[in-house]
């Protein structure tokens, strides 16, 4: 065989090897692109929807941390507002951040779970059961440091149909990623009125302590107010969607200031009027004593 033939055969083998490498790389890119298409979830598809005013679907059935089947309506007292959290118990990050922020605010709030409000936590993963819920509850009650709150902080699991209906009712968006075996979801906390109507939604992570209290105060329509300061706060603060929190309302402050000024002036005028009336009566009495004749004094004696 000639050297040229050997070179040609060598070149052919090299070309074949190069073609295989390129094909493998192309195939690898195709697989990577396919995985990306399967795992990258469009953020627009998990945006929450504002459902304020909607009613909690109290007929939905779940299982509590003890395994007992309960209806959401069984957990609504009708007397206290309540918070609803949608998470899943084996979430690697976001849910834990949400629960940690919520528990920290609950721990330092002037309102108490059970006395002033209740909490319902529901897993969005139908594969999770009461055992996980029980462990999660024990962990967060320990973090809260209020063991008596256990009767009023409910940890639920349920079937996909009930979970989806509840999420749709409050506008909570979530999607399951089978490749990552995780849920992409919103991070929100929902405040409900005592009769089960959605009053306010708060960001789950960047949630300010004052917003935590004001949302409860608003949901209760002032019924859980602990004093005059709470009632003033209810009048003066308004929720700002752009700020994603409660801010002072200039108009409300001006109205309140106007009322205070009117009351102050009215009270001052009343005090001055009463003082003048007393002085007039005193002068009249003194004048009557001076004008009295000696015979009158003797008669009076």
Mean predicted confidence (pLDDT) in 72-93: 95
- For 147-160, write each residue's pLDDT tens digit: 999 999 999 999 99
Q: What is the pLDDT of residue 249?
A: 64
Domain 46-221 top-level CATH class: alpha beta
Q: How confident is the model at residue 6 (pLDDT cuts 50, 70, 90)?
A: very low
Confidence (pTM): 0.71
Helix (H, G, I), strand (E, B) or coil at 118: strand
Residues 6+ apart with CB under 8 A from 288: none
Mean predicted confidence (pLDDT) in 82-95: 95
Q: What is the pLDDT of residue 258?
A: 56
Output 80 or 35, whichever has higher pLDDT: 80
Mean predicted confidence (pLDDT) in 124-128: 97
Q: What is the pLDDT of residue 11?
A: 47
Q: What is the pLDDT of residue 221?
A: 92
- For 229-266, write each residue's pLDDT tens digit: 788 877 888 888 877 788 886 444 444 455 555 556 66
Each domain of the chain, given as residue ranges in start order, spans: 46-221
- In the predicted model, what is the mean pLDDT of the chain? 81
Q: Say which residue the tokens 């399951």 belong to.
A: 176
**Spatial strand order in the sheet of 188-192:** 153-156, 118-123, 82-87, 188-192, 198-203
For the cut 60, the answer to whether the pLDDT of residue 14 exceeds it is no
Output 171 or 231, whichever has higher pLDDT: 171
Render the burial of 217-253: b for 16+ CB within 10 Å, e for the rest: bbbbeeebbeeeebeebbebbebeeeeebbeebeeee
- For 92-104, write each residue's pLDDT tens digit: 989 999 999 999 9
Q: How confident is the model at residue 268 (pLDDT cuts 50, 70, 90)?
A: low
Percentage of the chain beyond pLDDT 70 is 72
- For 16-44, write each residue's pLDDT tens digit: 444 444 444 444 444 344 444 445 566 56
Helix (H, G, I), strand (E, B) or coil at 254: helix
CA distances, 3 to each of 10, 12, 15, 17, 112 (Å): 10, 14, 18, 21, 92
Q: What is the pLDDT of residue 228?
A: 85
Mean predicted confidence (pLDDT) in 274-285: 73
Q: How confident is the model at residue 4 (pLDDT cuts 50, 70, 90)?
A: very low
Residues 6+ apart with CB under 8 A from 76: 56, 58, 82, 118, 192, 194, 195, 196
């Amino acid at each position: 065989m000639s050297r040229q033939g050997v070179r040609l055969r060598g070149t052919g083998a090299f070309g074949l090897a190069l073609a295989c490498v390129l094909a493998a790389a192309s195939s690898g890119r195709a697989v990577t692109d396919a995985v990306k298409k399967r795992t990258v979830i469009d953020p627009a598809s998990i945006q929450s929807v504002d459902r304020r005013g909607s009613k909690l679907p109290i007929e939905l059935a779940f299982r509590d941390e003890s395994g007992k089947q309960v209806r959401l309506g069984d957990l609504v007292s009708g007397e206290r507002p309540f918070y609803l959290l949608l998470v899943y118990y084996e979430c690697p990050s976001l849910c834990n951040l949400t629960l940690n922020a919520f528990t920290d605010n609950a721990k330092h709030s002037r309102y108490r779970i059970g006395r002033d409000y209740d909490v319902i936590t529901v897993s969005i993963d139908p594969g999770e059961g009461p055992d996980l819920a029980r462990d999660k509850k024990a962990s967060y009650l320990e973090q809260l440091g209020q063991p008596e709150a256990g009767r009023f902080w409910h940890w639920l699991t349920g079937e996909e149909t009930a979970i989806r209906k509840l999420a749709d009712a409050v506008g909570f968006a979530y999607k399951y990623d089978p490749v990552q075996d995780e849920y992409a979801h919103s991070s929100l906390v929902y405040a409900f009125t005592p009769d089960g109507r959605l009053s306010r939604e708060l960001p789950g992570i960047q949630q300010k302590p004052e917003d935590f209290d004001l949302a409860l105060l608003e949901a209760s329509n002032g019924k859980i107010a602990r004093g005059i300061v709470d009632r003033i706060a209810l009048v003066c603060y308004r929720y700002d969607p752009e700020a994603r929190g409660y801010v002072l309302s200039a108009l409300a402050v001006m109205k309140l200031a106007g009322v205070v000024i009117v009351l102050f002036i009215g009270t001052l005028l009343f005090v001055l009027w009463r003082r003048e009336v007393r002085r007039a009566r005193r002068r009249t009495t003194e004048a009557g004593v001076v004008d009295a004749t000696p015979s009158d004094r003797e008669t009076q004696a």
